[in-house]
Amino acid sequence: MTPKRPNVVIILADDMGYSDINCYGGEIDTPNLDKLAKNGIRFTQFYNTARCSPSLLTPKRRAEKRKNAETKFRTEMSKQ
């Protein structure tokens, strides 16, 4: 008999604070997330070390990254 696989759901939300959803004391009505929290596991300590750098979002920077990626791709393809 094979062991039962775990039932895991990971929810990733952008620009959402720790206490935004109702089960953590927030004012936003989130009944489905509240039900998951009630019947599952809630994180009580969570650390995020993400960084935001607006300079990476500028059109000039995107063009530079694209150009560098294209150059790297061509270099790698020429080695084959």
CA gap 75, 78 in Å, rounded: 5
Classify residue 56 as exposed, middle or buried by CB count within 10 Å of its CB (0-12, 13-18, 19+).
Answer: exposed
Q: What pLDDT was estimated at residue 55?
A: 58
pLDDT tens string 42-56: 777 777 777 666 655
Q: What pLDDT was estimated at residue 57?
A: 55
Average pLDDT over residues 8-22: 78
Average pLDDT over residues 3-24: 80
Please report, for the chain, the start and end positions of each structural domain, with discontinuous segments joined by +.
22-78
pLDDT tens string 25-75: 888 888 888 888 888 877 777 777 776 666 555 666 667 777 777 787 777
pLDDT higher than threshold 70 for residue 1: yes
